[in-house]
Each structure stands twice: as structure tokens, then as C-alpha cells.
Structure 1
Amino acid sequence: MKTILITGASSGYGLEIARHFLANGWNVVATMRKPNPEVLPRSEKLRILPLDVTSDDSIRACIEAAGPIDVLVNNAGIGVVGAFEATPMAHIRKVFDTNTFGVMAMCQAVIPQMRERRSGVIINVTSSVTLAPFPLAAPYKASKQAIEGFTEALALELAYFDVRTKIVEPGYAPTTRFTQNTSINPLDLIPAAYQGFAGPIFAEFGSPKMTTKETDVAAAVWAAANDATGQIHFPAGEDAVHFAKIRQFGG
């Protein structure tokens, strides 16, 4: 029976991914900064482990406790919304520590076992912001865009060892607490000069024309985990699919 390890599984996409794979009979290692067994159904196939992807010691302990991993899903991430000029560099570094360097560190931790077995799948969850211009989220987009390029290059390296590397690109889910892991209020990052620009954008967030459901992301991760082709990109959600088509075909 295959085992999947999911980072950031306490809520949102990560939680739904864990539910989806449990329902389909997989062994699931759901990792969380602060483990909460109440969010998932009790199951012999489920283990909940603590993990901070910005800590080498935490990563090492988690991978040792998890044992052999067939699929790694790098889902943990933090968001930042606001005008770039008003966003403290300390906060930008925090975003990159989790969204970019945390993903890379997790990949380094599991690649050796997958390489030796000559099997395994690494799925990096990015965002639809990589598919289209997205104002008021420049650092977040940059952190996710970096992982897109990283994953595409890694896919070529690991294909030699029969290890597959995929990208899932979720769209915008109104239920996702985008900045829940940060201490900065987005409104504090909108100077007076940006009020006229930011107002309509925030209003659109409140009533978007197209959105992504958490189940859409779980389905895309399922497809990526079971895909044996060379496909790398898996947009998830109506809006992400729309942006992916525009990027590919124009419009």
C-alpha cells in the first residue's frame, strides 16, 4: 500500500488532500506545525506528525518517523497581500523561507530514498498566480514562480532515476485563510496612495467570477500522483484552468 506525506495538512487544501487519499485507501502521513488529530477521521492508515518546513531538525525528525514515502506533497505555504513597497523585507524573507526554501528542503530530504528505490512522486503545490499577472501579491508570486522553475528543472534530473516531479496550480478559494500564518494585516500594507488601486481588487476578491474548491485541488493532486506520463503542470479549479488556457493559447 502506497504512502503519501502531505505538508500543511491542518486545514485548506492540505486537509482535503489528506481526506481524499485516506478515502481511496492510501496510507497518509499528515504533517502540521501544531498537530491536531481532530481535523481528520481516525484511521489505522493515518499518522499525524509535527513538521516545520523551515527547520532542518524538524524535517529530519519527520522523515525518519514517516518511513518510506511514495508520494510527497509540498503544500505548506504562507501568503502575503499588499503593496510591494510597503511590505517589510523581513516578511518577504519569511514567505520565501516557507514557500520556496521549505519546499526545496523537503525535496532534498526525500529524494535519496526515492532515488535508491527508483520510484516515487514529488508534487509541489504552487498557485494560479504563476499563470497570470497578479497585483498586490508580488512577493508571494515570486516565491511560487521560483518553485515552478525549480520543479521543471528537478523533473529532468530525477527522471533518470524514474522519480516523477509534478506541479499542482490551485486557483483562488474564498475559504482559504490566505494570510493565516502571518502576523501582518493586509490592510496595513496598503498605503494611502494605493487605496484607489487596491479597493476594486479587494472587492473582486469578495465576489470572484471563478473560484477553486478544495476538492478540485485534491483531485488534481490525485491525478498528478497517479500520472505516469511526462506531464508536469496540473491546474486545479475553474479559474486556474482558465488562466492556464490563456497562457497556452492566448486570449
Structure 2
Amino acid sequence: MHTILITGTSSGYGLATACHFLAQGWNVIATMRRPDAAVLPASSRLRLLPLDVTSEASIAAALDAAGPIDVLVNNAGIGVVGAFEATPMAHIRRILETNTFGTMAMCQAVIPQMRARHAGVIVNVTSTVTLAAMPLAAAYTASKQAIEGFTGSLAHELGHFGIGVKLVEPGYGPTTRFIENAGLDIGQLIPPAYADFAAPIFASFAAPAMTTRESDVAEAVWAAVADTSGRLHFPAGADAVALSQARGA
């Protein structure tokens, strides 16, 4: 039976992906900062582990407790919506530490065991901000663009060892909590000079033409894990598919 480790499973896409793989009969290791807050269904095939992807010690402890894993899904992430000039550099660094360096650190920690077995899959979850630039999300976009390039390079590097490396690119999901998880007041990040510019953007967030469901991401991760064609990009959600097709990705 296969084992998958997923980061950021307390809510949203990570939670949905964990539930999807459980339903398919996999062993699931669901990780999050506070496992006591988990809302996952009870299962003998589910293990909950604490994990802070910004801490090398936490990563080492989680992987030691997890044992051999067949698939790693790097889903943990935070974001922010606001004018770049008003976003504190401390928070920008926090975004990069979680979304970019956290993903890289997880990959680096898992690769040796997969390389030794000549098997395994790494799925990095990014965003459609990598397909089409979105205003008021410069720092978040930078963190995800870095992972897009990193993943493409890593796919070439690890394919030699029989390890698959994939990208899942979700569109806009109104039900996700990545902004709330960032712990920053959006109102503070829209200076008066940006108010007129930001208003229609926030209105579009409230009534998007197309969105990504949590199940869309879970199904895209499933497809990425099962893929043996060497395909790299897996858009998730109707809006993501439309953007991917428009770009020709």
C-alpha cells in the first residue's frame, strides 16, 4: 500500500487532498503546525504529525516519524493581498520562508530516500498567479514563481533517478484560508492612494467568474501522482484550466 505525506492539511486544498487519498485506500500522513486542530476523518490509515516547514528540526523530526514515503505533496503556504509598498518586509520574508524555502527544504529532506529506492513522486502546489500576473499579490507571486522554476529544473534532475516531480496550479479558491493564515490585516495593506485601484479587484474576488474547488485540487494531485508521461503542469479548477490553455502551458 502506498504512503503519501501532505503538508498544510489543517484546511483547504491540503485537507481535501488527504481525504481524497484516504478514500482511494492510501496510507496518509497529514502534517500541520497544530495536529490537535485537525478535522480529518478517523482512519487506521491516517497519521497526524506536527510539522513546521520553516524549521529544519521540525522537518527532520516529522520525516523520521513518518518513515518511508512514496509521495510528497508540498501544499503548505501563506499569502497576502495588498499593495507591495505597504507590505512589511518581515511578512514578505515569512511568505518566502514558508512557500519557497519550506517547499525546497521538504524536497531536499525527502529526495535521498526516494533516490535510494529509485522511485517516488514530489508534487509542488503553486498557483495560477504563475500563469497570469495578479495585482496586489506581488510577494505571493514571487514565492510561487520561484517554485515553478525550481520544480521544472528538479524534474530534469530527479527524472534520472526514477523520481517524478510535478506542479499542481490551483486557481482562485474562495474557501481557502491562506490569507487568514497569514495573520495580517488586509485593511492595513491598502493605503488610501490604492483604494480606487483595489476596489474593483476585491469586487472580482467576491464574485469571480470561475473558481477552483477544493476537490479540483485533490483530483489534480491524484492525476499528477498517477501520471507517467513526464507531464509537468497540472492546472486545477476551471479558471486554472482556462488560464493554462490561454497561455498554451
TM-score, length-normalised on structure 1?
0.98
CA distance in 2 between counterparts of 1:229 and 1:80 reads 35
User: What do residues 171-197 of structure 1 show as CA deviations (whole Å, max 9, x unaligned)?
Assistant: 111111231222211121001000000
CA distance in 1 between counterparts of 2:16 and 2:88 reads 32
What residue in structure 1 maps to residue 45 of structure 2?
Answer: 45
Q: Is the 8 A contact 1:166 1:231 kept in 2?
A: yes
Amino acid at match of 1:86: A
Q: Is the 8 A contact 1:37 1:48 kept in 2?
A: no
What residue in structure 1 maps to residue 54 of structure 2?
Answer: 54
Runs of 4+ in 1 over 4 A off after TM superposition: none
Q: Percent identity?
A: 68
Q: Is the 8 A contact 2:10 2:38 kept in 1?
A: no
CA distance in 2 between counterparts of 1:184 and 1:7 reads 22
Mark the runs of 5 or more structure 2 residues left unpaired by the alignment. Answer: none
In angstroms, what is the RMSD of aligned CA positions? Answer: 0.9
Superposed displacement of residue 8, structure 1? 0.2
- Evaluate the alpha carbon distance shift between residue 135 and residue 38 of structure 1 in structure 2; reply closer, same or farther with a 3 A threshold: closer
Mark the runs of 5 or more structure 1 residues left unpaired by the alignment. Answer: none
Amino acid at match of 1:73: V
TM-score, length-normalised on structure 2?
0.98
CA distance in 2 between counterparts of 1:180 and 1:229 reads 37
Number of residues paired by the alignment? 249
User: What do residues 92-125 of structure 1 show as CA deviations (whole Å, max 9, x unaligned)?
Assistant: 0000000000000000010000000000000000
Superposed displacement of residue 229, structure 1? 1.1
User: What do residues 122-157 of structure 1 show as CA deviations (whole Å, max 9, x unaligned)?
Assistant: 000000111101000000000000000000000000
User: What do residues 193-228 of structure 1 show as CA deviations (whole Å, max 9, x unaligned)?
Assistant: 000000000011000000000000000000001111
Q: Is the 8 A contact 1:10 1:36 kept in 2?
A: no
Q: Is the 8 A contact 2:81 2:186 kept in 1?
A: yes
What residue in structure 2 maps to residue 191 of structure 1?
Answer: 191
